Amino acid sequence: RKEVEQDPGPFNVPEGATVAFNCTYSNSASQSFFWYRQDCRKEPKLLMSVYSSGNEDGRFTAQLNRASQYISLLIRDSKLSDSATYLCVVNMEYGNKLVFGAGTILRVKS
């Protein structure tokens, strides 16, 4: 089993749609969780951290379910500029390193 698994997509959605991405992780002792965004031929950039209580940043909402080892990202009112690859990222407790999922591709179309 991969350490971090995501649905690769692509998700093709119209502008204004709500879209949700899911991610599962294998190590129950993992402590920190993040969503990163990567544009084509660019470096990954932190989108938001994911907290146990769930957190929101504008149109973006992240949720964590430790019991199910599951993380989600919800994007409301999708914009064309949201088109990118979204990477689920987990800090594995046994090493101070970030482990990246393979990414979910989002394409928002007008």
Binding residues for another protein, rule: CB under 8 A, are 32, 34, 42-46, 49, 85, 87, 91, 95-100, 102-103
C-beta of 58 vs 97, nearer to another protein = 97
Q: Which residues contact 53 (CB under 8 A, 6 or more apart)?
A: none
The nearer residue to another protein, 43 or 81, going by C-beta atoms, is 43
Write down the least CB distance from residue 33 to another protein, Å.
Answer: 10
Sign of the dihedral defined by the CA atoms of residues 63, 58, 33, 87, in that order: positive
Minimal distance, residue 2 CB to another protein, in Å: 9
**Closest approach of Cβ 16 to another protein, in Å?**
27
CA 52 – CA 58 distance, rounded (Å): 18
For the beta carbon of residue 5, count every other beta carbon within 10 angstroms.
Answer: 15
